[in-house]
Amino acid sequence: MQDRKHDPQSYAALSGTFDPPTTTQTASVQPIPLRQKPDPLVCRGGCGELLEPVTIRRKGEALYVPLRICDPCRVAENDRERPPEHVVARDRRLKTIPIHLRETRGGKPITFQTLDRDRGNARTLELLEQWIPPWGSIFLSGPVGSGKSQALACLVRKLIEGGGSAMWTSEQRLMRMIREDFGRRGSTLQREICDAPILVVDDLGAAARTDWERRIFEEILSERSDNRRPILMTSNYSLDDLRALYSGAYDERNQDPIRGDRIMSRLSQMIGDRQWAIHGRDRRARR
């Protein structure tokens, strides 16, 4: 039990100095004129202590205010209301997942348990649920809106809730971030991308248009593959399409089939047999 005399918040101190009590101590109680001294109340914090009312002065008039909770119980109650440190940190890590894939409009978490399942996604969702680090990379392909990103989001949520951490980005955003960051002194962005325990690259192939973008992707890929750090990927393209894209097949002046081969060789090795598809209609169309 703390020494109340030296605690400016304590009711002992309050009653001596006529400072107003804190709102949590006297929440929703009416001040009472001095001539009707109210009975002491049992602390609602559960310690069993009888709390004498405190006196305050309002507009020159002295008033009694009953106390509902003692200081130690109030402190304990505040601590209970605040989520523990590891929960705060976990919620911060979850924010890497784009909000529309992380929670419903009503703020409910979207998880493997809440997803609709049908013939087009059931098997792949099962395989994803079984994936645990440090297993290798994942390549999820399928048509627009079929639920590839949503499926990875559920996996990433599960990993983070289990204490892990991940970095979520799309290929386009990755390239934009690195481009904007380029040449900034002391930049650690590319380092962080290479070192993230789990990296999500959503929409692979969406930003393989310039020679520079293809080179950057090769750098990140080889660094992560050398260190056996997985990349979880989604794409509208097949691996064959990606070989053409990363070779610069549609970029007349910068064709480089060797780079395409190098990238695909590494990617295939990292992905192994975790090349999964999600079929089905565009789920966005329904809304």
Which range of residues in 25-33, 70-78, 144-152, 159-167 is near ligand ATP by CB under 6 A?
Answer: 144-152
The torsion angles phi and psi of 90, rounded to 5 degrees, stand at: -65, -45
Q: How far is the CB of 253 from Mg ion (least distance, A)?
A: 30
Interacting partner of 167 out of ligand ATP, Mg ion, Zn ion, none (Cβ under 5 to 8 A depending on kind): none
Helices (H), the chain: 11-17, 23-26, 71-81, 85-94, 99-102, 122-130, 148-161, 171-181, 189-195, 211-226, 239-246, 257-271
Residue closest to 251 by CA, chosen among 215, 193, 208, 280? 208
Q: How many CB atoms lie within 10 A of CB 211?
A: 15
Taking CB under 5 A as the criterion, which residues in 28-47 touch Zn ion? 43, 45, 47
Q: How far is the CB of 21 from Zn ion (least distance, A)?
A: 14
Which is closer to ligand ATP, CB of 64 or CB of 168? 168
Per DSSP, 167 falls in state E
167-170 and 199-202 beta bridge pairing: parallel
Tell me the residue number closest to ligand ATP, measured at CB.
147
Dist. CA 96–CA 92, nearest whole Å: 8
Residue 99 lies near ligand ATP (rule: CB under 6 A): no
Dist. CA 270–CA 224, nearest whole Å: 9
Dist. CA 165–CA 92, nearest whole Å: 10
Residue 284 lies near ligand ATP (rule: CB under 6 A): yes
Taking CB under 5 A as the criterion, which residues in 132-161 touch Mg ion? 149
Q: How far is the CB of 36 from Zn ion (least distance, A)?
A: 24
Q: Tokens 């991308």 correspond to what residue?
A: 193
Which is closer to Zn ion, CB of 67 or CB of 152? 67
Which is closer to Zn ion, CB of 67 or CB of 267? 67
Residue 234 lies near ligand ATP (rule: CB under 6 A): yes
Residue 147 lies near ligand ATP (rule: CB under 6 A): yes
Which range of residues in 146-154, 220-228, 237-245, 269-277 is near ligand ATP by CB under 6 A?
Answer: 146-154
Residue closest to 205 by CA, chosen among 147, 244, 259? 244
Which range of residues in 2-10, 14-22, 58-66, 113-121 is near ligand ATP by CB under 6 A?
Answer: 113-121
Q: How far is the CB of 116 from ligand ATP (least distance, A)?
A: 4
Q: Are 30 and 39 contacting, i.e. CB atoms less than 8 angstroms apart? A: no
Dist. CA 69–CA 24, nearest whole Å: 8
Taking CB under 5 A as the criterion, which residues in 41-80 touch Mg ion? none
Q: How many CB atoms lie within 10 A of CB 30?
A: 10
Which is closer to ligand ATP, CB of 152 or CB of 267? 152
41 three-state secondary structure: strand
Prior bond to 134 cis, omega within 30? yes
Q: How far is the CB of 12 from Zn ion (least distance, A)?
A: 14
Q: In this chain, which of 68, 93, 148, 157 binds ligand ATP, going by CB under 6 A? A: 148
Positions that interact with Zn ion (CB under 5 A) = 43, 45, 47, 49, 70, 73
Positions that interact with ligand ATP (CB under 6 A) = 100-101, 115-116, 121, 142, 144-150, 203, 234, 236, 283-284
